[in-house]
Amino acid sequence: MVSTSTSSVQKSFKYDVFLSFRGEDTRKTFVDHLYHALHQKGIITYKDDERIEKGVRISDQLLRSIKESRFHIIVFSKNYASSSWCLDELVKIMECQRTTKHTAYPVFYDVEPTEVRNQIEVVGEAFARHEKEEAAKRWIDALKEAAGLAGWELKNTVDGHEAKFIQKIVIDISLKLSFINGSVDENLVGMEGRVKNVVSSLEIGSEDVHMIGIKGMGGTSFIENVQEVSKSSLSGLKELQKQVLSDVLNDQSIVVKTASDGKNKMKKMMGSRKVLVVLDDVADIDQLEALAGDLTWFNPGSRIIITTRDEQVLIAQRVNFIHDASLLSNEEAICLFSTYAFGREIPIQGYRELSEKVVHYAAGLPLTIKVLGSHLCGRSEGEWVDAIERLKTIPLEKTLKRLELSYNGLENDQKEIFLDVVCILKGERKDKAIGLLESCGFNAQIGLRVLEQKSLITISDTDGLLT
């Protein structure tokens, strides 16, 4: 029997961020502004404000603070390497980076990574006083290792503007913490990189109005559902318009008489302030035109995020950026599945191969993986084997319900093409599939393009295989 008592517990840290810096360079300037920006964002940050006397070694308390911090931000400045205190901090930070769940991020402030890595130019001059010290080799290794980590370089980011640079650091750290802490869903897997990709397209700081589209197959959960609400009744669309206006303007007394009236009110009233509007599961252009008809509706700096299964909706609206909601990789899928099946991020001993088979069936769909993990939790090995055999022939009800929304929106011949691809042509090359479908009287070129735009099938860019 699979034990469900094993749990993956996130290590508890006293601080979210530890700031390592050279006081004489940045204490009252860059680091002071960074610390307050992190603090205002609710990020618990350790900043040592003690002035270190010459010859004093790093304290045990400071070493503990490094161990008790989830992230370490190392601000490399011109005189950082002149301080043995800073270098001892750096050695401890690199030890944590290698051995536990800590992550270090270098900030290159008025120095370049190559200067830190090779101790040349101003960094070399600052380090020169330590060359004959006993700890020199250890310090050099730590400088090289830290300079090779992913971080932020002021000179090459936001054209060197410190305020925007600090804002970017805070946003990146906040995003990473949100996934570690599971503030939305403790079982989210593989989302950090995907969300960061979308956040980058928001171009925070730009005064343009941006529409960002996210297209993909059903299987990812969202809170609101434009398609379902707008089609649930004749008044559905105007109710959504009223909701947007009420939320943005903080005025619950707004009345929307018709969808046309709603469009006029939105065009007139939304331009008075910057807004963030998220429209989930938009099914057709009429819905999008009613809720975000034109960029001129919105005040400069506003952001509108749209999710849909149909790429054509985004293209027709001339959306600025379109992102694919990519499926989970094999390792991400295993992690998500194990979380639901075993209460930990990796399969328990003896169940790796069976887990691989289940994940292969799920084909990277998060919803399917969650359903399967929950279904198999606590079951015996024999029950797993039986379930895997059944999965080859029995579809999952919850997954089908998600797919049904996209499927029902197809024309009859497109439905036939989709069923032929799923049942017969999966794994075939696109050109061969087109020939077979056209021999049956279908307009295969257009049909396959529609299915791909609605994220019901994928066509490989490299070998043209249908999946």
Question: In 178-236, where do the E strands start and end?
Answer: 210-215
Catalytic residues, which ones?
89
The pLDDT of residue 9 is 30
CB-based burial label for 452 (10 Å; 0-12, 13-18, 19+): middle
Alpha helices in 48-149 (DSSP H): 60-67, 84-99, 113-118, 121-127, 136-147
Q: Is the pLDDT of residue 405 over 70?
A: no
pTM: 0.47
Q: How far apart are CA 187 and CA 91, in angstroms?
A: 34
Q: What is the CATH number of domain 206-324?
A: 3.40.50.300
Largest CA distance in the chain: 86
Q: How far apart are CA 11 and CA 167, in angstroms?
A: 27
Among 12-26, 318-332, 333-347, 399-413, the least confident range: 399-413
Identify the top-confidence range among 6-10, 179-183, 273-277: 273-277
Q: Is the pLDDT of residue 30 over 90?
A: yes
Average pLDDT over residues 190-205: 65
- Is the pLDDT higher at 277 or at 9? 277
Among 11-15, 38-42, 171-175, the least confident range: 11-15
The pLDDT of residue 231 is 65
Q: Is the pLDDT of residue 433 over 90?
A: no
DSSP state of 160: G
CB 226 within 8 A of CB 282: yes
CB 288 within 8 A of CB 317: yes
Q: Is the pLDDT of residue 401 over 70?
A: no
Average pLDDT over residues 357-364: 79
Tell me if the domain spanning 15-179 has CATH number 3.20.20.70.
no
- Average pLDDT over the chain reads 78
Band (pLDDT 50/70/90 cuts) for residue 289 is: confident
Q: What are 276's strand-pairing partners?
A: 303
**Residue 195 to residues 57, 94, 123, 185, 424, Cα–Cα distance (Å):** 42, 27, 36, 14, 35
Q: Is the pLDDT of residue 36 over 50?
A: yes
DSSP state of 22: -
Q: Is the pLDDT of residue 444 over 80?
A: yes
CB-based burial label for 287 (10 Å; 0-12, 13-18, 19+): buried
Average pLDDT over residues 373-401: 71
pLDDT tens digit string along 361-375? Answer: 777 777 677 777 877
- Is the pLDDT higher at 8 or at 377? 377
Q: How far apart are CA 155 and CA 164, in angstroms?
A: 12
Band (pLDDT 50/70/90 cuts) for residue 7 is: very low
- Is the pLDDT higher at 128 or at 368? 128
Q: Domain residue spans in the chain?
A: 15-179, 206-324, 330-396, 410-453
- Is the pLDDT higher at 394 or at 183? 394
Place of tokens 């979380």: 339
Average pLDDT over residues 120-126: 92
**What percent of the chain is modeled with pLDDT above 70?**
78
**Residue 146 to residues 90, 105, 165, 237, Cα–Cα distance (Å):** 8, 8, 20, 53
- Please indicate whether the domains covering 15-179 and 206-324 agree at the CATH topology level: yes
Q: Is the pLDDT of residue 214 over 70?
A: no
